[in-house]
Structure 1
Amino acid sequence: MTYKTADKQVVPEPMLRHIHCDSFFETSEDRQVTLEVLEIRQPTFTTLTLTEVTDGYEVFAAEYLTGIVAMRLAEGWTIVSAGERHYHLGSPPSDPDGSDAEPVCSRCGSTKVVRDACARWDKANRRWVLADVHPGAFCEACEADGDDLLQPPAIDGASAETCGETAP
């Protein structure tokens, strides 16, 4: 199944279709205000289209659409094209630098490894912040532990460093 986008492109059925809706009662005007943005996500792009706007709220609707676009940009999407009522976003890059790779247990190969850490209270921000990660590790799969348990992920065939340690 296919459909046409706002710029008349024919594309396959989307992986995700979502409607972002904001509706509120404007007491000073005694009326309901509705804004809707349709998000259609494909493997390589996303289209965000403003589909419903209450008369007189076009500027507010544009800000609403821009806010949704800002959330997608924070996720790594990029603006390919834009119009008054729509945006076409390119998908975030795949993981070319291996940043999604995980350390594994050097004994069983599992990624179910944990490390102890220390947190300190940050008075200015009123929250806990990570202060240190201890060298020892524990594998929840094989129950092994030790300072030499972690095998950091390999990136482009080279071993990576983790907290000052190198791969064995």
Structure 2
Amino acid sequence: MPSFTIESTYRQPVFRHRTYEAATAEDACQLAIADEDWTGQKEDYENSGATYLTGIWPGVDSAYITPALELPPGYGEGENPPPTAGTESATPVAAPLMPRCRHCGSADICRDANAIWDEIAQQWSLLATYDSQTCERCGADSNNLALWVPVAEAGSASAFLWEVIQALETTSLASDADFQRFCTESHGQLTADEAAARWRSAAAA
């Protein structure tokens, strides 16, 4: 089952008690507003705001590493999440995802598994899968190797972006706006290796 990294936020009031000497109450209020020293501040947990979401990314621990997904309506600050029961609203369909190597960006990832011979079907049947994952391209191996990202259509600008990332072996570029724009402009004009060489040269300049 796909995983998603979500950034949740809530606003918590912070207050302080401080005495000011002033000619009038209004003057004292002005001093309090202008006072930037919050030493001894206290948190007002009882009046914290409602939780809202400020970001969602496909994959495990992928915040600001992979391109962010669009936040579904109703989950931003001041919005009301859609009801989960007793309504006729359709359940949103999640976009298809695929695993990529967290180190080099390759989609050639294998996962350890156990199979048993099926005498009736005369073939190996999958019995269990294990956490260990291996990248066939760079050889990286870990239980948290897969970076889950939206499936890129073959020949698309998104697919080209990941081809360039593989050539550079720098998955953090997936969330770089300048790199995304560069790949979009280079798509159809350069090969992935040519684009990678040009990006590497520009970065070194």
* TM-score in terms of structure 2 length: 0.25
Q: Determine which structure has the larger strand proportion and give its number.
A: 1
Q: Determine which structure has the larger helix proportion and give its number.
A: 2
* TM-score in terms of structure 1 length: 0.30
Greater radius of gyration (CA): 2
